[in-house]
Amino acid sequence: MNSQLIRKTFDEGKGIFLMCPNWIPRALLEPGKRLRLLADDYSRLGLKRGYICERWFSATEKAETGPEAPEDEGLSYIYSNGTRLLFKDCVAVLGSDLIGREIWEQYHRWPVFSKFFDYKCTSFHHLHHKEKDAALVGLQSKPEAYYYPAEMNLSLDSAPVTYFGFDPSVTKEEIIGRLSQFENHENRLTELSRAFRLELGTGWYTPPGVLHACGSLCTYEPQWMSESCSLWENHTPGGSIVPYDEFAGKVPENKRRDLEYLYNLMDIEANFDPDYRKKYFRRPVIEIEDKYYTQKWITYGNPFFAAKELRIQPGQTVVVKDNAAYGCILIQGHGRFGVFQAEAPNVIRFEEQTYDEFFVSERSAREGVRIENNSHQEFVMLKHFCHNVNAPSGN
């Protein structure tokens, strides 16, 4: 850990880090190929490990992508004059100077991250463990949210719908019956679910314990820093067969064949809620709007994290203030972001350093970041925060 270089880079960036692209393969699903990678590079990590389907932002925990993954898979790095420094080390060295006193004293880490996930088909119907269930096996719970940016979705691919929970008419016996067939037949669990057509420029919040099969849009996904997951559906069109361990591997050893226990991993009330859309669907809420720029809340209504979309008009220079540290990704336009050049690339080569992703310290966020839009279109940036930092309370 090079503490001196970390502090020097932090000071030279005026409290902002330039981040390195962080590509993640997934073996079980086909890629949507909208992450702006060069076409041949989606298989750069080898077909055995799977196509690149995700890009992670400001992540401090390893991605679970199989036994052949390198030790730092999923961990974000910052860029410092040709050198890469582990973002997790930057958090450890700088502490409250980077992420703010409240978050540092409560977690002693940056406990959230965001990603683009990009699949050609719907994902498997799956859930992330509730807090008490995750704790039993030494994991963190994982609430998450989704936002569908138009700039990343020139194609909607084959299944632009997401399934949430189960239809209220479905019985416990039906679900357990399907789960009992996990190793024998396709259980087609989404036949018992409810599908919602996805709308560009909107999103959802998904609490832990809710079954969901994500649709085929390239999705911006703020979430808690955890890989706790249980795949309940054993096959989806365009995907591979799911091993039983992906269903029951993250529970106590003596519960892995206990279907009653596995059934209760889900939040019963939320999964069968007839008003699910009313409670968890999220339309953007304007925070500030003038002739120079607009900033909207796109993730809100939960106690864990929040996100914003910033749009700056062509040719404008603005100072944008926020109340907390954040990670961000530029998806359209070019110009300056603080002391850095900034541009949303059209095509990215796998090992190329880009100038589209940053992490902003709490102090720099509060003082305001000077941003120049030197393009002839809107400068569009997505930001994710820990906690709600004055976000709206809900719908």
> What per-residue confidence (pLDDT) applies to 238?
78
| pLDDT recorded at residue 387 | 86
Share of the chain above pLDDT 70, in %: 99
Average of per-residue pLDDT across 236-243: 87
Least-confidence region, from 147-151, 196-200, 370-374, 388-392: 388-392
Pick the more confident residue, 238 or 327: 327
Identify how many contiguous H helices and E strands the chain contains and give both numbers.
11, 26
Nearest CA to 164 among 116, 199, 121, 212? 212
- Look over the chain and give the mean of its residue pLDDT values, rounded to a whole number: 96
Tokens 């860029």 found at? 79
Check if the beta carbon of residue 116 is closer than 8 Å to that of residue 149: no
For 25-79, the pLDDT digits (tens) are 999 999 999 999 999 999 999 999 999 999 999 999 999 998 999 999 999 999 9
Structure tokens at 155: 């194609």
In this structure, what are the phi and psi dihedrals at residue 148, rounded to the nearest 5 degrees? -115, 90
Chain centroid offset of residue 246 CA: 20
Please compute, for residue 327, the number of CA atoms within 13 A of its CA located in the half-sphere on the CB side: 27
Ordered domains of the chain (ranges, CATH) = 3-282 (2.60.120.10)
Question: What gap in Å lies between CA 30 and CA 35, rounded to an integer?
Answer: 13
Contacts of 26 (CB under 8 A, 6+ apart): 50, 51, 53, 54, 65
**pLDDT tens profile 78-125:** 999 999 999 999 999 999 999 999 999 999 999 999 999 999 999 999
pTM above 0.95, yes or no: yes
| Among 297, 314, 296, 315, residue whose Cα is nearest residue 306 | 297
**H or E element, residue 278:** helix 276-280
Q: Answer whether 329's CB lies under 8 Å from 59's CB.
A: no
How many CA atoms are closer than 13 Å to the CA of 131, on its beta-carbon side?
4
Structure tokens at 162: 């997401």
Burial class, 263, CB count within 10 angstroms (exposed 0-12 / middle 13-18 / buried 19+) = middle
Give the tens place of pLDDT for each residue, 323-375. Answer: 999 999 999 999 999 999 999 999 999 999 999 999 999 999 999 999 999 99
- Contact call for residues 354 and 301 (beta carbons, < 8 A): no
Q: What is the pLDDT of residue 191?
A: 97
Question: Is the pLDDT reported for residue 240 higher than 90?
Answer: no
DSSP, residue by residue, 99-135: H-HHHHHHHSS--EEEEEE-BSS----EE---HHHHH
At 389, the pLDDT band (50, 70, 90 cuts) reads: confident
